[in-house]
């Protein structure tokens, strides 16, 4: 099988792009390695950010383990639910995830449920932890999507542009080759090739842009969960656009409707509306809270002014009372002095009149006796 990949618009030829490698006879897929690297880097970023925000990094490590296990289970179950014909005769294959068969949105749902249960048990805020954890998930997606490059999957419809990718027809699954691709088959070095859009590259680039946007908004969020909801809306928008061009679609039974496309559109619309409504409500609550604070501050100022007025009145009354008391003391002292003076004057008059009376009595006695 030809293992080369070409990018004609970039004049780039990769002669050998393996799907896997062996270590001690054990085959390891490059897709799995990239998923693991992306996951570890995402966890590392989240732990560092948690420490910088003075949060418990161990709680995020526990959350990562729980969401990883529940996410893998959810991804497998959702895929099996829409591809049951592949497993109805051999249900044991449900556990064989090495052969592929995972849906991202199933993993997202399983991870959210597992994380919510963990936060409920540990009495943590799910929305607060999700705001930070979703950025670690984005890092995993940015790196992990390149696994589709090595697997020759998740590509789009025929396109001829600077980023178009050329793949050998024998290297891809027959069900993913569309009519437009077959009509535009190309022959290179005696082999038959198809020209497709590298959607894995577009999705990886989109996830990077979403990550940068969320990092700028992290310190400016208005409510807990805003970053996580913006992630769902942002990723849903990009995935809806890219999903339209994918050839490996999983459809609702009996319809031609793409499951991932419907979920992406719902996530984008619903989360965008929720964020807009909650931001408006948060602003209103903030204004009400600010008015209440201003009212409390005004009441406190008025109470303080009243206390100052009462204290000032008490001080004035005290000073006036002391002044009145001093005046009364002065008046009392003045009245006492006048009384003493009057009494002294009256006493002197009586003493001056007493000798005259005695003289009169003496004259009467001497004049009333006969002479001998």
> Is a pLDDT exceeding 60 seen at residue 184?
yes
Q: Taking Cα atoms as reference points, which of 245, 275, 178, 218 lies closest to residue 46?
A: 218
> Is a pLDDT exceeding 60 seen at residue 344?
no
pLDDT, tens digit, 9 for 90 and up, residues 47-102: 999 999 999 999 999 999 999 999 999 999 999 888 887 787 777 777 777 767 88
Confidence band, pLDDT 50/70/90 cuts, at residue 9: very high
Q: Is residue 103 part of a domain?
A: yes
Helix (H, G, I), strand (E, B) or coil at 245: coil
Domain interval for residue 120: 5-293
- How big is the chain, counted in residues? 372
- 51-60, 105-114, 347-356: segment of lowest average pLDDT: 347-356
Please give the pLDDT value at position 370: 44
List b or e across 233-257, with b for residues whose CB sees 16 or more CB atoms inside 10 angstroms. Answer: bbbbbbbbbbbeebbeeeeeeeeee
Confidence band, pLDDT 50/70/90 cuts, at residue 308: confident
Q: Is residue 93 part of a domain?
A: yes
Mean pLDDT of the region 119-146: 96
Please give the pLDDT value at position 2: 84
Question: What residues contact residue 2 under an 8 Å CB cut-off, 6+ apart?
Answer: 168, 170, 171, 191
Q: Is residue 41 part of a domain?
A: yes
Please give the distance of CA 238 from its chain centroid, rounded to a whole number: 22
List b or e across 80-99, with b for residues whose CB sees 16 or more CB atoms inside 10 angstroms. Answer: beeeeeebeeeeeeeeeeee
Rounded to 10°, the helix 126-144/30-52 angle is: 140
Mean pLDDT of the region 30-46: 95
Instruction: Specify whether the CB–CB gap between 195 and 160 falls below 8 A.
Output: yes
pTM above threshold 0.85:
no
pLDDT, tens digit, 9 for 90 and up, residues 203-257: 999 999 999 999 999 988 999 999 999 999 999 999 999 999 999 889 898 888 9
Q: Is residue 343 part of a domain?
A: no
Distance in angstroms (rounded) separating the CA atoms of residues 276 and 226: 10
> Is a pLDDT exceeding 90 seen at residue 111?
yes
Q: Is residue 314 part of a domain?
A: no
Q: For residue 301, give both structure tokens.
A: 């100022």
Residue 168 β-bridge partners: 193
Number of domain units in the chain: 1
* DSSP-assigned states of every residue in 289-355: HHHHHHHHHHHHHHHHHHHHHHHHHHHHHHHHHHHHHHHHHHHHHHHHHHHHHHHHHHHHHHHHHHH
> Average model confidence (pLDDT) for the chain?
86
Q: Which helix (H) or strand (E) holds 242?
A: helix 226-243
* DSSP-assigned states of every residue in 18-79: -SEEEETTEEEEHHHHHHHHHHHHHHHHHHHHHHHTT--HHHHHHHHHHHHHHHHHHHHHHH
Mean pLDDT of the region 167-172: 93
> Is a pLDDT exceeding 90 seen at residue 175?
no
Mean pLDDT of the region 108-128: 96
Q: Is residue 328 part of a domain?
A: no
In the chain, the percentage of residues whose pLDDT exceeds 90 is 60
End-to-end Cα separation, the chain, in angstroms: 194
- Give residue for tokens 């995830």: 97
Q: Is residue 300 part of a domain?
A: no
Q: Is residue 84 part of a domain?
A: yes
Confidence band, pLDDT 50/70/90 cuts, at residue 145: very high
């Amino acid at each position: 099988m030809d293992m080369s990949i070409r990018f004609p618009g970039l004049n780039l030829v990769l002669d050998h792009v393996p799907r896997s490698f062996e270590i001690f006879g054990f085959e390891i897929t490059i897709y799995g390695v990239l998923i693991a690297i992306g996951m570890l880097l995402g966890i590392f970023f989240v732990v560092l950010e948690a420490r910088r925000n003075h949060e418990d990094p161990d709680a995020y490590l526990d959350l990562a383990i729980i969401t990883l296990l529940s996410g893998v289970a959810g991804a497998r179950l959702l895929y099996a639910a829409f591809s049951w014909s592949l497993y109805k005769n051999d249900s044991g294959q449900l556990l064989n995830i090495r052969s592929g068969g995972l849906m991202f949105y199933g993993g997202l749902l399983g991870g959210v449920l597992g994380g919510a249960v963990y936060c409920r048990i540990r009495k943590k805020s799910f929305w607060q932890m999700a705001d930070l954890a979703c950025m670690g998930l984005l890092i995993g997606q940015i790196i992990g999507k390149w696994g589709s490059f090595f697997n020759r999957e998740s590509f789009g419809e025929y396109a001829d542009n600077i980023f178009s990718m050329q793949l050998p027809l024998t290297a891809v699954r027959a069900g993913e080759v569309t009519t437009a691709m077959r009509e535009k088959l190309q022959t290179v070095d005696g082999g038959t090739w198809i020209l497709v859009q590298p959607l894995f590259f577009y999705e990886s680039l989109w996830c990077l842009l979403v990550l940068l946007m969320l990092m700028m908004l992290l310190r400016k969020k208005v409510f807990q969960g805003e970053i996580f909801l913006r992630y769902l809306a942002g990723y849903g928008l990009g995935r809806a656009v890219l999903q339209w061009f994918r050839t490996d679609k999983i459809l609702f039974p009996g319809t031609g409707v793409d499951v991932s496309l419907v979920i992406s559109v719902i996530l984008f619309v619903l989360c965008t509306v929720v964020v807009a409504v909650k931001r408006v409500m948060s602003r209103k609550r903030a204004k009400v809270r600010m008015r209440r604070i201003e009212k409390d501050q005004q009441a406190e100022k008025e109470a303080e002014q009243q206390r100052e007025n009462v204290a000032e009145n008490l001080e004035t009354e005290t000073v006036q009372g002391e002044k009145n008391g001093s005046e009364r003391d002065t008046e009392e002292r003045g009245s006492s002095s006048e009384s003493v003076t009057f009494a002294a004057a009256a006493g002197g008059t009586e003493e001056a009149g007493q000798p005259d009376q005695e003289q009169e009595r003496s004259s009467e006695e001497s004049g009333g006796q006969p002479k001998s």
